Structure 1
């Protein structure tokens, strides 16, 4: 199990991946049958802006289990100073943590909160304790004539995979709302967002046709983006599909000006070692990771094509 760590600006954000929290949703008891190889990952933020050119990447924490040993590869602690030099995201703390067990279960949580907040692999429905200041994600600002932003107490994504191969995940937008400012034509528009929105929700579908028509040429926003990470063959025995969840995915002007992937987690795929004996234990996390990358790549291409067709 991963050890607790603390990360934030003046008081780092505590990430609890230890027995108390993980046991809540993973029930990591000894398996009666053959062990499983599985994995999970968590990335708090990837942000790229063309003008001025800024890239913010917290890299990724990964947890891999080869059926006997869990290996956690933690990136450098995602300190809030990473956000210096850009004005797309304002937050107090970044967090990412992942857990993988040899009973076929895995879990992960990542995201942002106000300063002093908490991201914790524990209760899957509430893996965040909000901080003392709001998180602000600026979606678009065109010369002060039209702007849109998401404000929230915390924004996270969580996932978990069970030994029977089922995976689930959720974006958590705590106290979130969309604020649209277009002073020349309409007053400010404020739309409260559900804490747990449906998978693959188009943010602009939640606003009026007038506001949607105003923003759609400028920005595309998907909330609770979910992509299955099934084995490519789909029928190979012993392999169990996983899931990738991104709390908020933003493309501004077709991602030519800015792209934001806020709070991404993956759980699985996993493999029952009794049914998949051909791959050595040490190679299974690598093999499973390749499947996850392939699945994510297909999903990105599909999303881009769908957006291109819709415009």
Structure 2
């Protein structure tokens, strides 16, 4: 009787081992997805005209990053406009397979550059000042002048999302006969949705932030509405990160193959049990 019980125990153990192999083979492989978008500059004209740098986007399905669009578009993409004559357009995006994503976008002076560093941070090298002509008021030429204006965001699949805006030496100016006067100095790191204005000329929203849900954030560095002239508005540095998520389970063995896997496990267990029983009978015959 002890031998029979021992054999049954070994058979049960073999069966469990075989089934465990099948289950492990069919266990899911988890992968996090991520996404981000960026647009450097849009210029709106009265009458519906629009000059745009376009946009870039990055997605990751958990294994492969795909990026579309030009991350460093030339000013020529803006067409025949008179707002900006020289400068750098940046709209950088990344989407990683660990469920994180990042974006940086904005306008810099000639010689400037933007890259996305470790952890999704924006690494900015300012160049010369960039000048955006906003129109005229009497004899004065009104402009937005800065070394760099850009926004950034990061998101994770935890889920979480953060964003910020930087305006380096940014100001609204009035120039008459070559003499420049600062009408409004803009804060370097404005709080979300900061509203400013030059009475009778310009309304501004700095570091505009909005979210469609947990783990998603959209940021616009600067949105300007002109109150007169041919220019309707300027939007600089629009980015969006997330929502990033844990992907659905992906079985290593497809569901259609699960019965086969279980069958193999059972067969392995049965074979082990059969061998054990044969050994017991052989030992009994010898005795």
TM-score, structure 2 length as denominator? 0.67
Classify the secondary structure of the residue corresponding to 1:116: coil
Q: CA 1:107–1:254 in 2, change beyond 3 Å: closer, same or farther?
A: farther
Cα 1:173/1:130, change in 2 over 3 Å:
same
Q: Per-residue deviation at 1:116?
A: 1.6
With 260-269 and 136-145 compared, the bigger mean Cα shift is at 136-145
Q: Greater CA deviation, 100-109 or 69-78?
A: 69-78
Q: Specify whether residues 155 and 122 from structure 1 end up closer, same or farther in structure 2 by C-alpha distance, changes over 3 A only.
A: same
**C-alpha deviation, 1:171, in angstroms:** 1.2
Deviation at 1:111, TM superposition (A): 1.2
Q: What's the RMSD between the two structures over aligned residues?
A: 3.1
Residue 244 of structure 1 is aligned with which of 218, 226, 238? Answer: 218
Q: 1:306: which partner in 2?
A: none
Counterpart in 1 of 2:263? none
Alpha-carbon offset, residue 159 of structure 1: 0.7
Structure 2 residue ranges without an equivalent (≥5):
1-28, 252-287
User: Quick one: higher RCO (CA 8 Å, sep 6+), 1 or 2?
Assistant: 2
Distance 1:142 1:172 in 2: 28
Name the count of aligned residue pairs.
220
Report deviation, 1:194. 2.4
Structure with greater helix percent: 2
Q: Which residue of 2 aligns with 1:65?
A: 60
1:46 matched residue in structure 2: 42
Q: Is the 8 A contact 1:83 1:90 kept in 2?
A: no
1:227 aligns with: 210
CA distance in 1, matches of 2:176, 2:193: 27
1:85 counterpart residue number? 80
Which range is displaced more, 173-182 or 110-119?
173-182
C-alpha displacement of 1:190 = 4.1
Mapped pair 1:168 → 2:151: no
Query: Does the 8 Å contact 1:38/1:105 carry over to 2?
Result: yes
- Alignment check: 8 A CA contact 2:53 2:78 kept: no
Matched, 1:200 2:176: no
Q: Report deviation, 1:256.
A: 8.4
Q: Match of 1:159?
A: 153
Gaps in structure 1 of 5+ consecutive residues: 1-32, 205-211, 231-239, 278-311
1:1-311 aligned at under 5 Å gives the runs 34-50=30-46, 54-75=49-70, 78-83=73-78, 85-122=80-117, 127-131=123-127, 133-144=128-139, 148-180=142-174, 188-204=181-197, 212=198, 214-215=199-200, 218-230=201-213, 240-253=214-227, 257-274=231-248
Report the alpha carbon displacement of residue 264 of structure 1 after superposing the two structures with TM: 0.8
Q: CA deviation at 1:54?
A: 4.6
Q: Is the 8 A contact 1:38 1:271 kept in 2?
A: yes
In our comparison, the structure showing a higher alpha carbon Rg is: 2
* Cα distance, 1:169 vs structure 2: 0.9
Q: Give the 3 Å change call, closer, same or farther, for CA 76–126 of structure 1 in structure 2.
A: closer
Please give the TM-score of this superposition, normalised by the length of structure 1. 0.62
1:181 deviation in Å?
A: 6.1
Can you list the C-alpha shifts for 1:99-152, whole angstroms capped at 9, x where unaligned? 011222100111111112111112766531111x2112334423436x543211
**Counterparts of 1:177 and 1:276 in 2: how far apart (Å)?**
52
Seen in structure 2, the aligned counterparts of structure 1 residues 76 and 94 have a Cα distance that, compared at 3 Å, is: closer
